[in-house]
Amino acid sequence: KGQVPVITIDGPTASGKGTVASKVAEALGFHYLDSGALYRIVGLVCLRANVDLKDIAAVTAHAMGISPVFAGGRISLGSEDITNVIRTEDVGQAASCIAVIPSVRNALFELQREARREPGLVADGRDMGSIIFPDAELKIFLTASAEARAHRRYKQLIEKGIDVTLDDLVKEMKERDLRDMRRAHAPLAPAEGAKILDSSFLTIQETVDKILYWWVSRSH
Ligand code: CDP
Ligand code: CDP
């Protein structure tokens, strides 16, 4: 008792975590934490600074230095709106490279924990239910077939004006999921007690409704 409620939504790339998590947050009047954006921002900053993504000291220094502002669905870094630039697959790959470094994960730990504010939080990522909020009231592991995920991401990027081919995307997503699953620290896997939700054949609204149903019918 006394803890601010948290719903965690973890899962592989393009399973719909971000879209679904922000809609669940909106429905409940909760805050929303996009933890992947933090790793993407560190990836972006390192790419721009030409840092070797395996240089632990340099990448960690950059991770400790970021102070992004999340407001009105936009993300900014200093005076720059980086909402769209962090969504490319290049930045996603860089994010998953730097995310294997434990000291980078530690540098982002407090930033994520601070997002837990009244009246509640919906957090999405890879380790929200396992590491960051192990005491969350409701934990979801959101998945979808590789095919469904590739098509969703393809459509999303094309609509944003980001040029990709479906073949490259399938290859890159597979590579990134494997790297996320095989890493030693905070690997992508369902957290203990997580409900597995396969959205391959569900619309966004059906997925949101399922989670809201689990939320209202949870045992206290
Ligand atoms: O955050 P994550 O990478 O898991 O996925 P997302 O960015 O929320 O969703 C990827 C794309 O799939 C978005 O364009 C969503 O609108 C779409 N989507 C969908 O078409 N059907 C679903 N059930 C879930 C997501
Ligand atoms: O939207 P998508 O699911 O493709 O990726 P994301 O959630 O924005 O995360 C980008 C990368 O950051 C992932 O591939 C992970 O390697 C890393 N990440 C992580 O390690 N832990 C998290 N809680 C969130 C993201």
What is the structure's pLDDT at 162? 85
Q: Cα angle vertex 215, ends 133, 207, to 5°?
A: 95
What is the structure's pLDDT at 80? 97
What is the structure's pLDDT at 175? 93
Tell me the C-alpha distance between 198 and 68, whole Å. Answer: 32
pTM over 0.95: yes
Which residues in the chain land under pLDDT 70? Answer: 1-2, 220
- Name the residue with the closest Cα to ligand 1, atom 9: 16
What is the structure's pLDDT at 163? 87
- Cβ-contact 214, 133 below 8 angstroms: no
CA-closest candidate to residue 27, choices 110, 122, 108 = 122
- Cβ-contact 94, 47 below 8 angstroms: yes
Which of 70, 126, 160 has most ligand 2 atoms within 8 Å of CB, for mutation? 126
Residues at the binding site are 11-19
What is the structure's pLDDT at 220? 63
* Dihedral pair phi/psi, residue 33, rounded to 5°: -115, 120
23 lines ligand 2 (CB under 6 A): no
Which atom of ligand 1 has the smallest separation from the CA of 20? 8
What is the pLDDT of the chain when averaged over all its residues? Answer: 96
With a Cβ cut-off of 6 Å, ligand 1 is lined by 13-19, 152-153, 156, 199, 202-204, 207
What is the structure's pLDDT at 219? 76
